[in-house]
Structure 1
């Protein structure tokens, strides 16, 4: 049976927090998500730039009592960056550490990223979408193996045996709460001392991508469906649900299905549905005429006939 589930944009979910989390939790979650999506640290991920802007926007709203109050009341608020003046990244993205220094007004000790990282579940009171991923790596002539994990294996961690190019078998333990798209490095194990990378894929047959407690889904809509709003049936880990897409939804908009993510120790994440507007590759004469008319209306009265 299909269930009706309300969907709204949710800045708390963008940062992986429960609504109403305190200031220290908000700052900690922002640091983690900003590091995860900073474009300089995710050069191979085409989503990084827009997701980093969304994380920045979420923190700017939730850390400002006035803007947060307006957002929670469903009112319009200024969508400029934390320093105002429109898009704060119009001229590019600053160095990650310099960016945090400027935002939080502090200087932090610069250290080299460790090759090993500890993964943990956040304390009660907040549900993290996922722990921070391993430090980003740049592959040159190194080797890479695609590793497919089930959602349960990704959540709990899995023991894998990887055969290297020279026939050597290496046993690897993936971290708990791993996510789709993560790349894990086995340093210096290939012939000649190169690195071997494990590219994790955590997907279900119906297109759900798992990342820690959070589940992600891309939803393709026609321009008409996105502009006018629609109701669609989408898959979740616990069966299909009916999702209402608000009118005026643009590509990149995130709709949240509360409690439809993975479960860990009594905590359960959400499912985020990302709207993607898809234009037909070929248009019929009637469709082309309608798009031309829409273009005229968008350009103003002087173009109308």
Structure 2
């Protein structure tokens, strides 16, 4: 039976680029792989046909020969599928073809692509937790922090080699940082055991860093904390993380802020809440009180006569600034009417006199309403 056209097998045109050929092969190989087509007896033969077509078309010289002479270009073994001589497409060629797609599918995950790039790998990101006061969150500040991390060794300039020597290519992996082993149809890749994936070895290591190219050091960094930050706000300092290996770029430093609890104010977003004790006489007769504000100032608040515990009063624009947008929150005063303690005999007598005077008057409407409901409840239970 006449062999099918290789372009037809892969479903591509004769003008297809090398990338289009690889994509078509990857798609067909996944579709026809025998492991995924157990119920299709023809899948294995079709899978081999696809691999044969890809092996011929991925190589520019073989493709040129096929375009000129067709299948006759490979007579004598090249296109036979089982021959090992005369440049034929045998087991090793199949493994090589499938390895290309394996790299394409899993190369980024396993690090096979550009393994030599690990020679100058990026440094790790760092985290630093910083606690500030509510007043500092209100006004913003410039703060100096101390961070201990790995920095580039100045003695060897990050190369890890002493006396200005340059690291050498690893002879095991030829500088790629990865080594391959053939296992059946697959090429398995792992980190080079000689250079630990760096692609380079240091014959004469630097005495300061022991060949690591980095040393531990404490640094003082200035951090700009904007007004309006909240707990959980993250500030990124680019390039202030750990130094990279073999002269690679440094990582970043992330500062996570925590705003400490305040003895006077509770925060909810951009609003502040302050619980203010009020004397019983002031709550009953009315009056003025002074309350603190987060900027360190004072605000005078008028207490209406007959105010009860839990009553809230708003001071507009006395809250926290928004981190973005320029808005400013409000401050809410919650009154807490305080019952007097440690009374003198005279004070007790005055309160008893007040109680006698108020028996015939409706001075406590909330209390009267509550006990009316209690009486109705008891009567309903009896019924």
Q: TM-score scaled by structure 2?
A: 0.28
Q: TM-score scaled by structure 1?
A: 0.34
